[in-house]
Structure 1
Amino acid sequence: MPKISQKGLQMPESPIRKLVPFAEAAEAEGKSIYYLNIGQPDIPTPQKALDAVKNNDLNILSYSPSSGFDSYKTKLAKYYNQNGINISKDQLIVSTGGSEALMFAMGSITDPGDEVIIPEPFYANYNGFATAANVTVKAVQSKFEDNFALPPISEFEALITDKTKAIVMCNPGNPTGYLYTEDEVKQLADLALKHDLFVIADEVYREFTYDGAKHTSIMAVEGLENHAIMVDSVSKRYSMCGARIGCMVSRNTEVMAAAMKFAQARLSPPTFAQIASEAALDVDQTYFENINSEYVNRRDTLIEALGQIEGIKVAKPRGAFYCIVELPVQNSEHFAKWLLSNFEVNGKTVMVAPAAGFYSTPNTGLNQIRIAYVLEKEHLLEAVSILEAGLKAYQGD
């Protein structure tokens, strides 16, 4: 029998989705599940976006240009300029989700055997993208007790070799919800300039910042024009995860020329989804103000409820809609499977994301989970009460 590639064998499973078979089995048994494992907002998608798809007059569902429709890129560039990111439409490529933009970026700046440095915990699929590109992840560990703030720059610098090509950051962070300060972003920028590295900044959650904190884009840092690559998406901003529309942005013409070849190889981003995304850009700013207010209420409700459970520790996020929780268990993945397979309260249980998959350092985060507070407050409270009951009943790994 022909053999699977080493790359295929080494490709990590998603900590967010790997327990789906357990959830499906639980539902087949008649259980209701509160899904705290995945960042799928329950906020309604803007009606303008939905109507744009419903009411279009297309006769042929054709390809778009490889870089995306010009009308969408023009409006998208205008959005960025209004948010202090001065770019032109020619400095962005529309991608099939932020995931494809990350793969374009990796493919454009790295060769097999190269290295990227990432503060961990980080979005689990970065491990997958690196594996696909034959790139090694060097992790700098941020600390739970510091609320996952940026680790000392000296720890980044200690990992730099002649194979290092980029620093990758997510701001605000997934899975931590940490929002990097302007000073922290500039520290990374200065390091990149010192060692002539790229900075890939995943800014998908830019609109979701709380407690008066402001988001600092890597694209707004002066002097970093040839080093900065931004990844973005409509998935979370407009509650359009299924649209699979994102973009890669850079002022570096050589990087964008290379990325365009990857874009051409996959032909084009999806047409209907671009139509919806273009229409979504017309929503009023109050849309985001209302969403942020809702997420702050959900965050505060969740943090307060978790804080009342004995043995639990939780890091308070200032952005996105995730938090990392330390549980009084040795193996959170075993616990998460047990919740789905062997536990219920009045026919209900919860699904969480084991946090070990958000680290690249082995045997790290084993007692942690990520919770996405994308449910209404009353559902969050019931989910937490089920989690508490589960912890009391759990007999160990």
Structure 2
Amino acid sequence: MPSISIKGANMPESPIRKLVPFAEKAYKANKKVYHLNIGQPDIKSPQIAMDAVSSHHLEILAYTRSEGSEPYRKKIAAYYHRNNIMVDENELIVTTGGSEALLFAMGSIADVGDEIIIPEPFYANYNGFATASGVTIVPVISKIEDNFALPPISEFEKLITPKTKAILICNPGNPTGYLYSQEEIETLAAIVKKHDLFLVADEVYREFAYDNLKHFSILEAKGLEDNAIIIDSVSKRYSMCGARIGCLVSKNKSVIKTALKFAQARLSPPTFAQIASEAALETPQSYFDEVIEEYKGRRDILIEKLEEIPGVQVGHPKGAFYCIAQLPVKNSDAFAQWLLEEFDLDGETIMVAPAAGFYSSPGVGLNQIRIAYVLNKESLIKAVNILKAALKEYKD
């Protein structure tokens, strides 16, 4: 029998999706499942985007340019200008989701065996993208006790080797909700310039910053033009996860030229999704104001209720719509499966994402879960009550 590749065997399972079979069994057992495991917003997508697709006048659903349609790229550049990020349409490539932008970035800046330093916990799929690209992730641990703030510069510098090509951050963070300050971004800028590295920032949650804090992009940092690569997406900004449209942004011409070759190899991003995404850029600020206020309210009630549970420690997110909760259990994978297979409270249970999959350091995060507060407040309160009851009953 032919064998699969070593790379395929080493591809990690998604900690967000691997419990789906157990959730399906829970449905068949007539349990209601509150999904805290996946960052799929329940916020409606902008109507202007939906209308653009339904009212199109295309007669042929043709390829677009590999880098994305020119009108769309010009409108993206205008969006960045409004956010104090001065790029033009030739300094970005439209991708099939932020995921493809990350793959293009890794493929453009790193060879097999090269290293990328990432503060952990981090978005779980970074592990998969690195495996697919033959890149080694070198983690630097941020701690829940510090609310997942940027580790000291010395922790980064002692990990830098001749194989180090970049530092990768997610800002605001998935899974922590941590929002890096301007000072922290400038600290990272100094490190990458000193050691001639790239700084890659996954900024897909840029709009979601709370408590009167402001997102500071790596392309707002002075003198970082040759080092900075932004990963972006419409998925969370406009609640358009299914559009699968993102982009890679850099003022480094060699990066864009190289990434374009990867884009040409996959031909083009999807046409209808670009139409929807271009229209979404006309979404009024009032949409975001309402969404941010809603997420802030959800965060506040979630954190308040979690902190009432004995033995639970929780990070305080300042952006995005996730938090990490540390539970009084030994293994959150086993606990998450038990919640779906064996537990319910009046016919209801919850689905969470075990946090060990958001680390690459072995044995770290085993007693943590990621919670996505993408449910309405009433459902969040019910979900936390279920968690509280489950922890009382659960035996490791």
Q: 1:25 maps to what in 2?
A: 25
1:347-397 deviation line (CA, Å, top 9, x unaligned): 11100000000000000000000000000000000011011111111121x
1:116-156 deviation line (CA, Å, top 9, x unaligned): 00000000000111101111000000011000000001100
**How far apart, in 1, do the equivalents of 2:8 and 2:91 lie?**
33
Q: 1:200 maps to what in 2?
A: 200
Shift of 1:292: 0.6
Shift of 1:250: 0.3
Instruction: Report matched runs for 1:16-95 at 5 Å.
Output: 16-95=16-95
Which residue identity is paired with 1:121?
A: P
> Under a length normalisation based on structure 1, what TM-score does the superposition of the two structures give?
0.99
**How far apart, in 2, do the equivalents of 1:102 and 1:141 lie?**
21
**Identical amino acids, percent of aligned pairs:** 66
Structure 1: gaps spanning 5 or more residues: none
Q: 2:104 maps to what in 1?
A: 104
**How far apart, in 2, do the equivalents of 1:308 and 1:228 lie?**
42
Which residue identity is paired with 2:191?
A: L
1:273 maps to 2:273:
yes
**Deviation >4 Å, runs of 4+:** none
Deviates more, 1:243-252 or 1:57-66: 57-66
Shift of 1:13: 0.6
**How far apart, in 2, do the equivalents of 1:33 and 1:108 lie?**
41
**How far apart, in 2, do the equivalents of 1:281 and 1:21 lie?**
37
**How far apart, in 1, do the equivalents of 2:207 and 2:337 lie?**
33
Structure 2: gaps spanning 5 or more residues: none
Q: 1:122 maps to what in 2?
A: 122
**How far apart, in 2, do the equivalents of 1:112 and 1:299 lie?**
40
Shift of 1:345: 1.3
1:40-93 deviation line (CA, Å, top 9, x unaligned): 000000000001111111111111110011111011100000100000000000
Instruction: Report matched runs for 1:334-345 at 5 Å.
Output: 334-345=334-345
Shift of 1:264: 0.3
Shift of 1:28: 1.5
Shift of 1:157: 0.5
1:225-260 deviation line (CA, Å, top 9, x unaligned): 010000000000000000000000000001100000
Query: How many residue pairs were aligned?
Result: 396
**How far apart, in 1, do the equivalents of 2:23 and 2:57 lie?**
40
Instruction: Report matched runs for 1:128-147 at 5 Å.
Output: 128-147=128-147
**How far apart, in 2, do the equivalents of 1:113 and 1:331 lie?**
31
Instruction: Report matched runs for 1:147-162 at 5 Å.
Output: 147-162=147-162
Which residue identity is paired with 1:318?
A: K
Deviates more, 1:230-239 or 1:386-395: 386-395
Shift of 1:286: 1.1
SS in 1 for 2:154: helix
Q: 2:353 maps to what in 1?
A: 353
1:297-355 deviation line (CA, Å, top 9, x unaligned): 00000001111111111111000000000000000010000000001112111000000
Shift of 1:31: 1.1
Q: 2:251 maps to what in 1?
A: 251
Q: 2:318 maps to what in 1?
A: 318
Which residue identity is paired with 2:155?
A: E
**How far apart, in 2, do the equivalents of 1:132 and 1:228 lie?**
22
Q: 1:223 maps to what in 2?
A: 223
**How far apart, in 2, do the equivalents of 1:153 and 1:208 lie?**
26
> Under a length normalisation based on structure 2, what TM-score does the superposition of the two structures give?
0.99
SS in 1 for 2:239: coil
